[in-house]
Homo-oligomer: A and B are copies of this chain.
Amino acid sequence: MMDTQLVLNGFVKRVETYFPHKEIVSRTSADKIHRLTYKDFATRTRKLASALEKIGMTKGMKVGSFAWNQHRHLEAYFAVPCTGAVLHMINIRLADEHLEYIINHAQDEILLVDIDLFETIERILPKLTTVKQIVVMSDSDDLPESQFSALYSYEKLLAEAPDDYQFPTDLDENLPAAMCYTSATTGFPKGVVYTHRGLVLHAINLGLVDSFGLSERSVALPVVPMFHVNAWGIPFASVNFGAKLVLPGPNFTSHTLIDLIEEERVTFTAGVPTIWMGVLQELEKTPRDMSSLEMVAAGGSASPPALIQKFTHKFGIPYKTVYGMTETSPIVSVAALTSEMDDWSEEEKIAALSTQGLTVPLIETEIINEDGEVPADGQTMGELRIRGPWISSEYYNDERTIDAYRDGWLYTGDIAVRTPQGNIKITDRTKDLIKSGGEWISSVDLENALMAHDAVFEAAVIAIPHIKWQERPLACVVLQEGYDTSVKEELKTFLATQVAKWWMPDDIVFVREIPKTSVGKFLKAKLRDDMKDYQLTP
């Protein structure tokens, strides 16, 4: 066979050759929609590469992006890796201290910054030790006021760049192409480096019928931020398959997303469950035309069955749970209804769609406890471990690598069971499991059960120290509008019909909101800290 390297460069060539007229639709501000053809995207991407090389970008250099989901960010997704440099997608929601750490730790030398986010970078500039140039992304050539002198306008750089730049054709598939940092339970975020080969194989996987099914006919709206795990690979896959891309831009709301889905006839969208809860609330108030949607992918945290049920049945929108991590590029598994489930009851189907799903081709997963791999009984819990060609093998320059990478596997820290159909079902994080009298209680199962009640908007269950049982569960509930704390006894009765008696939370407390990470996951460490003075009635 030919020694063809699996590099992202081929994606750009493919889209401009076969799908030059297809569109990238970017919402660049609250009232502006920008449209770009793939032909112009390819031209601009090459010009960006040329311009960045002119201001100093070299092979292997880290180039940080600090940006929303918009077309310039997409251009950087290809311009940087296709020259052999590495795009570091910086999470714009991190605290200053963490931003400083990751930019310095990655050794970013150039930053590409959305103009409305520039203030944050300006604020931390004195602490950045490696950044030499900053390129400001904006519709105009105007630059913001800054203490920093090596400031460039993205559009001005492109206007001055030559038309005839060509990407190198000799990149090795194992070259680093991109990197992201993931929040750690303790300490600074940990970096994960993605290679061309990993990203290419991951992107191809998103075109499989049983995965995301992205194709030329797709209209893909990645709600998941482009600063978060390659926006789940959707930008790479869409370019490769010639799918129309819809990028939601800065500070969107549920209303914005619904508008985009309706107006651009979106067929595929992906994001965390919290997003879909908001969209659902909006749709329940004001029905809209969502008929173009063929798949809503939800991941990052578990989707409550009640949410899946409403999307699937009330709105007729297929809703699939997916699973992955920053360490896994990210897609590891996708929940779908296989042919053997055709004669299952609706309730059983929703239960199957609530799992993290079937492991995708080329990836291997195992659920391990002290007895080895757990049986596929849907009951026996163990830790999920993963290996495959788009699974990282280390944290970037980080001693914490040994905590997660052993024996050729990534140990996820997620506690899971394997269903008889082979689906992964996450029952908890290792550190969030409730250990009561030597047995494990799954906080996620309790949360899902609670969230099925109309009065509950969100629920998080945490462990509270207990003198006799070591730990007992405490449920923290955010109420839907229109309900008050008098619903407490009703919730207890509701829960009692669904879970074992010894799993019942010792109490339910009502809170304003559940603390969340920058990517919308429950921040249980914070919640445990908030509740540290709570005393269980003995």
- Residues of A at the B interface (CB closer than 8 Å) are 1-4, 6, 10, 13-14, 17-18, 21-22, 174, 193-195, 197-198, 200, 204-205, 207-210, 213-217, 240-242, 336, 338-340, 358-359, 361-362, 364, 387-393, 408, 410, 421-422
Could you tell me if B422 and A362 are in contact, using CB atoms closer than 8 angstroms? no
Expressed in whole angstroms, the Cα–Cα distance for A361 and B198 within the complex equals 15
Can you give 9 contacting A-B residue pairs, CB < 8 Å?
A1-B390, A2-B387, A4-B389, A4-B391, A6-B362, A6-B389, A204-B361, A207-B209, A209-B213
Could you tell me if B2 and A391 are in contact, using CB atoms closer than 8 angstroms? yes
Could you tell me if B207 and A4 are in contact, using CB atoms closer than 8 angstroms? no
- A214 → chain B closest CB, angstroms: 7
Could you tell me if B209 and A408 are in contact, using CB atoms closer than 8 angstroms? no
State whether A338 and B217 are in contact (beta carbons under 8 Å apart), knowing that A361-B14, A391-B1 are contacts in the complex: yes
Residue in contact with A214 in the complex, picked from B3, B4, B209, B358, CB distance below 8 Å: B209
Expressed in whole angstroms, the Cα–Cα distance for A336 and B13 within the complex equals 20
Could you tell me if A389 and B18 are in contact, using CB atoms closer than 8 angstroms? no
Residue in contact with A197 in the complex, picked from B1, B217, B339, B408, CB distance below 8 Å: B1
Could you tell me if B207 and A215 are in contact, using CB atoms closer than 8 angstroms? no
Expressed in whole angstroms, the Cα–Cα distance for A155 and B186 within the complex equals 59
Expressed in whole angstroms, the Cα–Cα distance for A392 and B22 within the complex equals 32
15 more contacts with CB within 8 A, not counting A2-B389, A2-B393, are A1-B193, A1-B389, A1-B391, A1-B392, A2-B387, A4-B387, A4-B388, A204-B208, A207-B209, A208-B208, A208-B209, A209-B214, A209-B217, A216-B339, A240-B361
Could you tell me if B213 and A4 are in contact, using CB atoms closer than 8 angstroms? no
State whether A359 and B215 are in contact (beta carbons under 8 Å apart), knowing that A208-B207, A387-B4 are contacts in the complex: no
- A47 → chain B closest CB, angstroms: 22
Expressed in whole angstroms, the Cα–Cα distance for A22 and B194 within the complex equals 35
What are the 8 tightest A-B residue pairs by CB atom distance, in nearest-first order?
A209-B215, A1-B198, A18-B422, A4-B389, A207-B208, A2-B393, A1-B195, A210-B215
Could you tell me if A241 and B361 are in contact, using CB atoms closer than 8 angstroms? yes
Residues of chain B within 8 A (CB-CB) of A21 are: 340
- A327 → chain B closest CB, angstroms: 10
State whether A362 and B215 are in contact (beta carbons under 8 Å apart), knowing that A18-B422, A208-B208 are contacts in the complex: no
- A294 → chain B closest CB, angstroms: 11
Could you tell me if B2 and A388 are in contact, using CB atoms closer than 8 angstroms? yes
Residues of chain B within 8 A (CB-CB) of A205 are: 204
Expressed in whole angstroms, the Cα–Cα distance for A2 and B197 within the complex equals 11
Residues of chain B within 8 A (CB-CB) of A197 are: 1
Residue of B nearest to A418 (CB): B17
Could you tell me if B210 and A364 are in contact, using CB atoms closer than 8 angstroms? no
- A236 → chain B closest CB, angstroms: 11
Expressed in whole angstroms, the Cα–Cα distance for A14 and B210 within the complex equals 14
Expressed in whole angstroms, the Cα–Cα distance for A359 and B4 within the complex equals 16
- A519 → chain B closest CB, angstroms: 22
- A482 → chain B closest CB, angstroms: 42
Residues of chain B within 8 A (CB-CB) of A338 are: 216-217, 242
Most buried by B among A3, A17, A391: A17
Residue in contact with A364 in the complex, picked from B13, B242, B392, B410, CB distance below 8 Å: B13
- A463 → chain B closest CB, angstroms: 33
Expressed in whole angstroms, the Cα–Cα distance for A350 and B464 within the complex equals 68
Could you tell me if B3 and A393 are in contact, using CB atoms closer than 8 angstroms? yes
Residues of chain B within 8 A (CB-CB) of A387 are: 2, 4
Could you tell me if B362 and A210 are in contact, using CB atoms closer than 8 angstroms? no
- A274 → chain B closest CB, angstroms: 29
Expressed in whole angstroms, the Cα–Cα distance for A137 and B340 within the complex equals 32
Residues of chain B within 8 A (CB-CB) of A340 are: 21
Residues of chain B within 8 A (CB-CB) of A393 are: 1-3
Residue of B nearest to A219 (CB): B339
Residues of chain B within 8 A (CB-CB) of A217 are: 209, 338-339
Expressed in whole angstroms, the Cα–Cα distance for A242 and B197 within the complex equals 25
Expressed in whole angstroms, the Cα–Cα distance for A358 and B240 within the complex equals 13
Expressed in whole angstroms, the Cα–Cα distance for A18 and B338 within the complex equals 10
- A448 → chain B closest CB, angstroms: 24
Residue of B nearest to A217 (CB): B339
Could you tell me if A1 and B194 are in contact, using CB atoms closer than 8 angstroms? yes
Residue of B nearest to A206 (CB): B208
Residues of chain B within 8 A (CB-CB) of A2 are: 387-389, 391-393, 408, 410
Could you tell me if A362 and B17 are in contact, using CB atoms closer than 8 angstroms? no
